[in-house]
Structure 1
Amino acid sequence: MLRVEGTIVNHDRVYNGAVEIDEVTGLIVNVGEATGHSDIDTKGCLIFPGFGDVHIHAREDSSGLESYKEDFTTVGQAALQGGVAHVADMPNNRIAPVDDARYEAKEALAAKCAVHVTLYAGIGPHTRPLTRHVPYKAFMGPSVGDLFFSSQEELERAIGFYRGKNVSFHCEDPVILNESKGEPTHEQRRPARAELTATEFALYLIEKYELQGKLCHYSVGQGLPKIAAAKARGLRVTCEVTPHHLFFDTTDLTDENRPWLQMNPPLRAPEDRTALIEALRNGLIDYIATDHAPHTHEENAKGISGVPHLDTYGAFAAWLIKEHHFTPEQIARVCAFNPGNFVREFLPADCGEGFGVIAPGYVGSLTLLDMETPWTVQREEVKTKCAWSPFEGFTFPGRVRSTVIRGKVHGVAS
Structure 2
Amino acid sequence: MFDPEDLDADLSVTGHVVTSQREFPRGEVRVRDGRVLAVRGTPSDAPAAERVDAGGAYVLPGVVDPHVHCLSHAGEGIEAATRSAAAGGVTTLLEMPFDEAGPVWSVDAFRDKRAAVLREAHVDVGMYATVEPGGQGIAEIPKLAAEGAACFKLSTFQTDPRRFPRTPDGEMLDAFAEIARTGLRVCVHAENDEIVQRNLARLRASGASGPLQHGLSRPPVAETAAVAAVLEFARASGVHLHFCHVSTPHAVDLVQWHRRTGTSVTTEVCPHYLTLTEQDMVRGGARLKYNPPLRTPAETDGLWHRLRSGALDMVASDHAPWPLALKQRDHVLDNASGGPGVETLLPLVAGAALHERRMTPRELVRCLSTRAAHAFGLGDRKGDLRPGLDGDLVILDPDAEWTVDGSRLRSHAGWSPFDGMRIRGRVRCTVSRGEVIWDGDSVRSAAGRGRFLAPAPFPAPPEEDG
Does the pair score TM above 0.5? yes
1:334-373 mapped onto 2 (5 Å cutoff): 334-345=367-378, 353-373=380-400
Superimposed CA distance per residue, residues 311-346 of structure 1 (whole angstroms, 9 cap, x where no aligned partner): 11221133121121211011000001112212335x
1:237-386 mapped onto 2 (5 Å cutoff): 237-254=265-282, 256-302=283-329, 303-319=335-351, 320-345=353-378, 353-386=380-413
- Give the stretch that moved more between structures: 228-237 or 92-101: 92-101
Amino acid in the other structure paired with 1:48: L
Aligned-partner SS, 2:431: strand
Superimposed CA distance per residue, residues 233-267 of structure 1 (whole angstroms, 9 cap, x where no aligned partner): 1211000000000111112221x511111010001
Superimposed CA distance per residue, residues 40-68 of structure 1 (whole angstroms, 9 cap, x where no aligned partner): 130231111111100010017xxxxx321
Q: Which residue of 2 aligns with 1:63?
A: none
Q: Which residue of 2 aligns with 1:101?
A: 108
What is the CA distance between 1:412 and its match in structure 2? 4.3
Superimposed CA distance per residue, residues 330-378 of structure 1 (whole angstroms, 9 cap, x where no aligned partner): 1000001112212335x9xxxxx31111111000010111113112112
> Does the Cα contact within 8 Å between 2:191 and 2:225 map onto a contact in 1?
yes
- CA distance in 1 between partners of 2:326 and 2:381 (Å): 37
Q: Does 1:54 align with 2:73?
A: no
State the aligned residue count.
Answer: 399
Q: Which residue of 2 aligns with 1:152?
A: 169
TM-score calculated relative to the size of structure 1: 0.92
From 114, 118, 130, the counterpart of 2:122: 114
Structure-2 change in CA distance of 1:179 and 1:155 (3 Å): farther
Where does the alignment leave 5 or more consecutive residues of structure 2 unmatched? 1-9, 330-334, 442-466
> Does the Cα contact within 8 Å between 2:319 and 2:339 map onto a contact in 1?
yes
What is the CA distance between 1:268 and its match in structure 2? 1.1
What is the CA distance between 1:399 and its match in structure 2? 0.6
Structure-2 change in CA distance of 1:201 and 1:374 (3 Å): same
Aligned-partner SS, 1:246: helix
Amino acid in the other structure paired with 1:310: V
- CA distance in 2 between partners of 1:12 and 1:325 (Å): 17
- CA distance in 2 between partners of 1:75 and 1:130 (Å): 29
From 218, 232, 240, the counterpart of 1:212: 240
- CA distance in 2 between partners of 1:87 and 1:12 (Å): 23
- CA distance in 1 between partners of 2:240 and 2:65 (Å): 18
State the superposition RMSD in angstroms. Answer: 1.8
Q: Which residue of 1 aligns with 2:82?
A: 76
Q: Which residue of 2 aligns with 1:87?
A: 93
- CA distance in 2 between partners of 1:391 and 1:74 (Å): 19
- Give the stretch that moved more between structures: 154-163 or 400-409: 154-163
- CA distance in 1 between partners of 2:89 and 2:399 (Å): 16
Where does the alignment leave 5 or more consecutive residues of structure 1 unmatched? 61-65, 348-352
Q: Which residue of 2 aligns with 1:173?
A: 192
What is the CA distance between 1:33 and its match in structure 2? 4.0
- CA distance in 1 between partners of 2:412 and 2:422 (Å): 22
> Does the Cα contact within 8 Å between 1:344 and 1:355 map onto a contact in 2?
no
TM-score calculated relative to the size of structure 2: 0.82
From 52, 58, 81, the counterpart of 1:40: 52
> Does the Cα contact within 8 Å between 2:61 and 2:385 map onto a contact in 1?
yes
What is the CA distance between 1:95 and its match in structure 2? 2.5
Q: Which residue of 1 aligns with 2:159?
A: 143
What is the CA distance between 1:150 and its match in structure 2? 6.3
- CA distance in 1 between partners of 2:167 and 2:108 (Å): 27
> Does the Cα contact within 8 Å between 2:156 and 2:192 map onto a contact in 1?
yes
Aligned-partner SS, 2:53: coil
Q: Which residue of 1 aligns with 2:229?
A: 201
Q: Which residue of 1 aligns with 2:431?
A: 404
Superimposed CA distance per residue, residues 290-327 of structure 1 (whole angstroms, 9 cap, x where no aligned partner): 11111011101131111111111221133121121211
- Give the stretch that moved more between structures: 216-225 or 271-280: 216-225
Structure-2 change in CA distance of 1:226 and 1:36 (3 Å): same
What is the CA distance between 1:36 and its match in structure 2? 6.5
> Does the Cα contact within 8 Å between 2:240 and 2:265 map onto a contact in 1?
yes
> Does the Cα contact within 8 Å between 2:11 and 2:434 map onto a contact in 1?
yes
> Does the Cα contact within 8 Å between 1:150 and 1:175 map onto a contact in 2?
no
Structure-2 change in CA distance of 1:146 and 1:299 (3 Å): closer
> Does the Cα contact within 8 Å between 2:176 and 2:234 map onto a contact in 1?
no
- Aligned structure 1 segments of 4 or more residues deviating by more than 4 angstroms: none
Q: Which residue of 2 aligns with 1:13?
A: 22
